Amino acid sequence: MDRRIIYPGSIPLDADQLLQGQWTKEALGRVLDTVYGEQVSSAIGFAITLSGSALSFGVGIGVVNAWGVVDYTAVGGQGGGVAASSVPVTNQYINDTPQTVSGLSSGTTYTIYAVCQETDTDETVLPFYNATTPSQTQAGPNNTGSNLPTRRNANVTIVAATAAPSAPATGVVVPLYTLVIPSGATAASAGTLTSLQPFYMTIPELQAAVKTLLAETTNYLPAGSPQGASQQTYFQPTPSSTTGWTNQLTYTLIVPHDGYIHAITHANCSNTQPSSCQLTLQINGSSYNTSTANNPGTVASDTTVSTMSLSGVMHVKKGDSIEIVSYYGAPQSANTFAEVGQTLSYMYHPSLNN
C-alpha cells in the first residue's frame, strides 16, 4: 500500500489527501482480489422481503465487491485534483438504505440486479481563500457561490428486469437473484426467489460448514478410523485343500456428502507347489457410475509369497448406498497352501463444493 509523504513547512495541496484516498481504495481492492480473486463479483446482505399483498419486494442493506478501475473520472479540481486512474482493481459499493422495487408483473421471470456506480455527491458552497482580502473568505470558487461535491459515493441501485441493464459509465451491473412470479399471482410472495453466484460464504460460515462436514463424516466412519475406514481379515484355508475356494470382504456405507471413495485390496499366498490365485475389487452403488471392477487375471507363484494389489476410485453422491467388495480365490487344485492373507481398506474424501 502506497502512502503520501508530507513535509513540515511545505505548501499543502489538495492532491495530498486525494491521492491518499485513492491509494487506500486501491489497497482495499487488492485485499478483495486476494480473498476472492481478480474479476470476481461478490456480495453480502441484500436480504429480500417479498410482499404478501403487492407485486413488489424490499431489499435490505448490503455490499457488492466488483471488478473495475480505481477512479473512472478525475477527483477534485479548481486548478488541482487528481486525474482518473485506470488501474484495474476490485471496487466496493454499498447500499446503506433499504430499497423497495415495485411494478412487477405476474407470469414473468426477473433477474434482480445491483447497479453499482460512483457519483460525486453532497454538494455544498465551500469557503475559499481570498488572496485579495485574506481576512475575508470567498463563497465558492471565485466567490461565485456555486456548489461543489464533497464526497465520491460508491452506491447501489436495485433493479428487477428481464434483461440486464446497461452498465453505468462509472461502475458495473451485478446479478444477485432470480425471481419467478407465476401467472395470475397478485403478490410477489407467490414467486420463487433464487440467489446467484455473488453470495459466497463468509469465513465464519465456511469454518462452521467444514466443522459440520467433518463431524458428519466422523460419525459415519467406524471407531478408530479418523482418516477413512479400514479393515483387515486373514483367512486360513485347510492345508492340502483340493477344492477351489473364494474369500470375500465387504463394506457397506451410506455416503454423507458428494465425494470420492478410494479403495485398495491386498492378498498373498505361500505355497509349496506352483499355484494360481485371483484377486478382484468392486465398488458398487454410485449414482454417477454403476460399478467399477478390477481383475488382474492369474498370478502364479512357486514356493514363494505371491502378493497382489488392486485399487479403485468411484465418484459418489450424497445418500448413495455403496458396497465395496474384494474377492480372493484359488482354483481347484492339489496345491498345499501354508497361509492366505487378504486386506481391504477404503477412504472417503468429501467434495467441499457440494
- Is it the case that residue 67 has pLDDT exceeding 90? yes
pLDDT score, position 279: 74
169 pLDDT higher than 90: yes
Average pLDDT over residues 36-48: 95
Q: What is the pLDDT of residues 9-23, one digit of tens each?
A: 888 888 888 999 999
Has residue 50 got a pLDDT over 70? yes
Average pLDDT over residues 323-335: 67
Model confidence over 135-152: pLDDT tens digits? Answer: 999 998 888 989 999 999
What local confidence, expressed as pLDDT, does residue 15 receive?
87
In terms of Cβ atoms closer than 10 Å to its own Cβ (0-12, 13-18, 19+), residue 124 is: exposed
Measured distance CA(236)–CA(264) in Å, rounded: 21
Query: 0.85 exceeded by the pTM?
Result: no
pLDDT of residue 313: 86
| Strands annotated E in 57-150 | 57-59, 62-71, 85-95, 99-101, 108-121, 127-128, 138-139
pLDDT tens readout for residues 258-268 = 888 888 887 76
pLDDT of residue 230: 43
Residue 327 to residue 220: CA distance in whole angstroms: 25
How many CB atoms neighbour CB 39 within 10 A?
11
If one counts every other C-beta atom within 10 angstroms of the C-beta of residue 347, the result is: 15
- Mean pLDDT throughout 292-319? 63
Which ranges of the chain would DSSP assign to H, the alpha helix?
A: 14-36, 203-220
pLDDT band per the 50, 70, 90 thresholds, residue 290: low
Higher pLDDT, 349 or 270: 349
| Chain mean pLDDT for the chain | 82
> How far is 250 from 332, CA to CA, in rounded Å?
23
Q: How confident is the model at residue 318 (pLDDT cuts 50, 70, 90)?
A: confident
Distance (Å, rounded) from C-alpha 340 to C-alpha 344? Answer: 14
| Residue 46 DSSP SS3 | coil
More confident: 250 or 140: 140
Task: Report the percent of the chain where pLDDT is more than 70.
Answer: 77
The yes-or-no verdict on residue 157 having pLDDT over 70 is yes
With a cut of 50, say whether residue 239 has pLDDT above it.
no
pLDDT at 85 over 90: yes
Give the model's pLDDT for residue 12: 81
Identify which of 90-94, 247-251, 321-325, 346-350 has the greatest average pLDDT.
Answer: 90-94
Q: Does domain 222-350 have CATH number 3.30.450.20?
A: no
- What's the grid cell of residue 132? 485579495
Question: CB under 8 Å to 26, separation ≥6 — which residues?
Answer: 1, 2, 70, 85, 87, 89
Tell whether the model's pLDDT for residue 338 goes beyond 80. no
Q: Are strands 305-316 and 259-271 parallel, antiparallel or unpaired?
A: antiparallel
Quick: pLDDT tens for 91-117.
Answer: 999 999 999 999 999 999 999 999 999
pLDDT, residue 90, reads 97
As a whole number of angstroms, the distance between CA 84 and CA 69 comes to: 9
Asked whether residue 350 carries a pLDDT value surpassing 80, the answer given is no
State residue 207 phi and psi, 5-degree precision.
-60, -45
Domain coordinates in residue numbering, the chain: 14-200, 222-350
Mean pLDDT of 48-64: 98
Between 351 and 152, residue with greater pLDDT: 152
With contact defined as beta carbons under 8 Å apart, do 156 and 61 qualify? no
pLDDT of 223: 39
**Angle CA(322)–CA(327)–CA(330) in degrees, nearest 5?**
175
